[in-house]
Amino acid sequence: MSACLRLIPAALVAMAVFPASIAMAEVELGVYGGVQSAPHSTVTIDGDSVLADRDFTAGWDGNSLEAPPYWGIRATWWRHDNIGFGLDFTHAKVYADGQTLANSGLDTLEFTDGLNILTLNIYRRWPEALSFGTPYVGGGLGIAIPHVEVEGAGSSTLGYQVTGPAASWVAGLSYPIADNWSVFGEYKGTYSMNTADLDTGGTLESNIITNAVNVGVTFSF
């Protein structure tokens, strides 16, 4: 958990320097947690001097509530036309399940501190659409910054890498609870194209989708 916390300042700096030239009516800061999963994906190991080239399907566990837990932070600048622009940092994670490890011959295959996704997003909200809350949708593009953990046959890779492009999409409902404070619930998905460098010379590639149900709180000013 402590290693992942070192990524927070970078995300906050990125949010602070978001272009101030955008005509803004409201700034909204939010934090969230939830339950996240990931469907199977193909994993390819190529060119490694220790690990043999291999291509297999990985089953992923999310283990959202186990340390380090799944969480995220975001900053959104809402304009008067209810279009918003923002940055979102999601600390997702995936563990290869036991069957995958047995079939692949690896001892460890994880992005668990975590499969970090940073995206620049655009949102649309409808404040008058419902009497009990404000629905919204959004999506964006960015980068994946996972903590790569791969071990097997004497090869060990452990550390943060920028592994490729990423995308996110979200749909939810926000509900005010006090002046400037709201709670929200949402579905959020991410897609990341990951090419990780292995310490023994090769690469590991996998395109990973995550699906999450989030709950969170926002402060607006």
Confidence band of 155 (pLDDT split at 50, 70, 90): confident
36-94 tens-digit pLDDT: 999 999 999 998 888 888 999 999 999 999 999 999 999 999 999 999 999 999 999 99
162-206 tens-digit pLDDT: 999 999 999 999 999 999 999 999 999 999 999 999 998 899 999
Instruction: Give pTM, 2 decimals.
Output: 0.87
108-154 tens-digit pLDDT: 999 989 999 999 999 999 998 898 899 999 999 999 999 999 999 88
> How many folded domains does the chain comprise?
1
Q: 196 exposed, middle or buried (CB, 10 Å; 0-12, 13-18, 19+)?
A: buried
Confidence band of 95 (pLDDT split at 50, 70, 90): very high
The whole-number pLDDT of residue 57 equals 97
Kindly write down the DSSP assignment for every residue of 78-141, as one continuous string.
E-TTSEEEEEEEEEEEEEE-HHHHHHHT-SEEEEEEEEEEEEEEEEEE-TTS-SS-EEEEEEEE
The whole-number pLDDT of residue 48 equals 81
Which range of residues forms the domain containing residue 76? Answer: 2-17+24-220
* CATH (domain of 112): 2.40.160.20
Cα–chain-centroid distance for residue 17?
A: 20
The whole-number pLDDT of residue 14 equals 52
> What distance in Å separates the CA atoms of residue 130 and residue 18, rounded to the nearest whole number?
31
User: Phi and psi for 100 in degrees, rounded to 5?
Assistant: -60, -45
Above 70 in pLDDT, residue 6?
Answer: no
